[in-house]
Chains A and B, each alone.
Chain A
Amino acid sequence: MDSRTPPYLLQQADIAPRAGWLRRHRWFIAIVLLPTTLVALWLFLFAADQYESEAHFLVRKADQGQSGSSLPGFAQMVGLGGALGGGGEAVSVADYLDSHDAVMAADERLDLTALFRRPEADFISRLWYADPDAEDLVRHFRGKVDVAYDIDTGITELAVRAYRPQDAEALTTTLLQLGEERVNALNERGQEALLESARRQLDEAEADLGRVSGALAAYRRSERQVDPTLSGRAGTELETTLRGELAQLRSQDAAMSGIAADSPQRVALRRRIAAVEAEVAAAEARISGGRGLTAAIGNFEDLRMRQEFAAKRYELAAGMYEKARSDALRQNLFVVRIVEPNLPERALYPRRITIVLTVLAGLALAYGIGWLLLAGMREHAA
């Protein structure tokens, strides 16, 4: 027996030609032709049409040109680029649309189970359970809805397949709306958080300023003076003047020593000297005495500094609050629709010819490989 001759050539050839052909190629028929035919029959006769609706959108920040990552590739390849990121907001909507959260939200609006189980759907591709649990629904949803985010352009492509054109369009529109709502929610939450913290700082600064100002006012009331520093300076000036006057009076007194001590002039002069001396002593006591000016000025300076500091802090907090408010308005994320959802007219899915050809080619190759392997195996036995 020649091992190189394909085994089917060794079969006896005296059967009727048609039956002989069938017999000789029975493996090819069983492995390649039959399954392909079955698949083709299924696809062309029973499989339900699926319509695809598509929408493209971009998530943008108002103050940024582009929300996609600006540094793709090479720098990261060399390890210089750091983490791939920055597009967090942009990818958020795509991430959301692919999640159970979006599925549940869409289910509330559209009744996805009914949509995936239309009467015209075939029983292989439709949702298998009439009352699916959340996990099954999400899995089926992911099979019917493609969300593709492109890192370079930042564009998210949403493609939905359904058994009716209207369903496909409705689901795409709903998903887009859900995405927009989610973006708005994110915005609000972000603004609220930002404003909230700025507001709190402003409030704190305000309260602090009020407290210090109150303390200052109370101090002024209790000391009965507006500004101890000023009164201090006035007191010192007064004392200096008085001392000057005293010295002058004393020298006058000395100059009049020739005149009788009990002359009315000298008596009057001595009285004046005594009065001025008392004044000087009183002024001195006011400046430096016990609870006097020195201590008062110290306390006052302290309070005033605290007030100044609090005022500055308030000013800063107010500025930050204003900035936060304008930022919150400016840093809005929003969804830019690039391609609006369309109402499909012709069913593009399932791709019948492609699938049939794929199955045919795959099985034919498998058959060829199998045949070659088996032939090789047989050689060993010979």
Chain B
Amino acid sequence: MTTASLSEGLSVQRNVIGALILREIHTRYGRDNVGYLWLFLEPAILAAMVALIHIGGNSHLTGSIGPIPFALLGYTTFIMFRSIFTRADAVLETNAPLLYHRQISIFDMVLARALLELASTIVVLAVLFGIATLAELAHPPERPLALLAGIGLLWWWSLALSFLICAATNENRLVTKFVHPISYILLPISGAFYMLDWLPRVYRDIMAWFPMTQMFELIRYGMFAAARDDYVQPIYIIFWCMLLTFLGLLSIRAVRRHVHIG
């Protein structure tokens, strides 16, 4: 009985998540197509700005890492984190009526959104880096598997955090006020726009304990030949992600019965 109900449950859940993703696409990008465009334009504009700053001197960062691909990579991946993280508080607000259907769980909603963000990030990254490569501003990823692993870990981390935020905002609306400030604080300290190598040793040793810096190091290691993975400790990152996932799953499970539907 258990395995049968499990496989049945799995297939239902897969359908639910698929449907939620479609719904999300419609509500988000359906009305005006500029929504799609923004996904590409935002990092592209940043890259253009960085290019402008560096137009004078041909100063390269470290070795073969150009400033433009560096900023592009950091920004697109950070955007993924930011949109999963900051939109988590609105998940229940916008989707609560769906919980009338008992096949749909909070987990499904959060996961669907996160999957959509992951997909769009990878597409944006591929398109922008494709263009940059054609323009000879960037090179194709040096270690694609490490790049994917880095993005995957960052996504996992974002997902786990968004479970927690989703549950917390439902319990106390005040949390919403903190989500955006936190995401802004994380922008400079996450490691999306600097390498740990650039920091003086004192700060580097502290920052290296923050899992996000390691994830971005891993992402850069995957993209650039000259980047190094000296500070990346996969087991450490995975531990953080597992711990947060566990707590997050527990919390959304606890929260479900408190959700006010409609």
- Taking the complex as formed, is B173 at the interface, i.e. its CB lies under 8 A from any CB of chain A? no
CB distance from B7 to the nearest CB of A (A): 9
- Taking the complex as formed, is B19 at the interface, i.e. its CB lies under 8 A from any CB of chain A? no
The majority secondary structure among interface residues of chain A is: helix
- Taking the complex as formed, is A378 at the interface, i.e. its CB lies under 8 A from any CB of chain B? yes
Interface core residue of B63, B201, B238 (most chain A CB under 10 Å): B201
Expressed in whole angstroms, the Cα–Cα distance for A83 and B249 within the complex equals: 46
Query: Which segment of B100-108, B137-145, B209-217 sits at the interface?
Result: B100-108
In the complex, chain B residues whose CB is within 8 Å of the CB of A336: none
- Taking the complex as formed, is A82 at the interface, i.e. its CB lies under 8 A from any CB of chain B? yes
Q: B60's contact among A83, A366, A369, by CB below 8 Å, is which? A: A83
In the complex, chain A residues whose CB is within 8 Å of the CB of B59: 79-82
Interface core residue of A77, A152, A362, A376 (most chain B CB under 10 Å): A376
Q: Let me know if B197 and A380 touch, CB within 8 A.
A: no
Q: A372's contact among B53, B63, B249, by CB below 8 Å, is which? A: B249
CB distance from A147 to the nearest CB of B (A): 11
Query: Which segment of B10-18, B83-91, B121-129 sits at the interface?
Result: B10-18
Q: B8's contact among A368, A373, A381, by CB below 8 Å, is which? A: A381
- Taking the complex as formed, is B61 at the interface, i.e. its CB lies under 8 A from any CB of chain A? yes
Expressed in whole angstroms, the Cα–Cα distance for A376 and B2 within the complex equals: 13
In the complex, chain B residues whose CB is within 8 Å of the CB of A83: 60, 62-63
Expressed in whole angstroms, the Cα–Cα distance for A7 and B200 within the complex equals: 52
- Taking the complex as formed, is A374 at the interface, i.e. its CB lies under 8 A from any CB of chain B? yes
Known: A84-B62, A365-B242, A378-B5. A372 touches B253 (CB 8 A): yes
CB distance from A22 to the nearest CB of B (A): 18
CB-CB nearest in chain A for B250: A372
Q: Let me know if A79 and B53 touch, CB within 8 A.
A: yes
Q: Let me know if A380 and B9 touch, CB within 8 A.
A: yes
Q: Let me know if A73 and B200 touch, CB within 8 A.
A: yes
Known: A79-B67, A84-B62. A378 touches B6 (CB 8 A): yes
| Number of chain B residues whose Cβ lies closer than 8 Å to a Cβ of chain A | 38
Q: Let me know if B246 and A381 touch, CB within 8 A.
A: no
Expressed in whole angstroms, the Cα–Cα distance for A73 and B61 within the complex equals: 11
- Taking the complex as formed, is A361 at the interface, i.e. its CB lies under 8 A from any CB of chain B? yes
Interface core residue of A79, A375, A380 (most chain B CB under 10 Å): A380
- Taking the complex as formed, is B54 at the interface, i.e. its CB lies under 8 A from any CB of chain A? yes
- Taking the complex as formed, is B169 at the interface, i.e. its CB lies under 8 A from any CB of chain A? no
- Taking the complex as formed, is B261 at the interface, i.e. its CB lies under 8 A from any CB of chain A? no
In the complex, chain B residues whose CB is within 8 Å of the CB of A381: 5-6, 8-9, 12
* Sample of 22 A–B contacts (CB below 8 Å): A7-B2, A72-B198, A72-B199, A73-B200, A76-B62, A77-B198, A79-B59, A81-B59, A82-B59, A82-B60, A83-B62, A150-B201, A152-B200, A361-B239, A372-B246, A376-B13, A376-B105, A377-B6, A380-B8, A381-B5, A381-B9, A382-B5
Identify the A interface with B (CB < 8 A): 7, 72-74, 76-77, 79-84, 150-153, 358, 361-362, 365-366, 368-369, 372-382
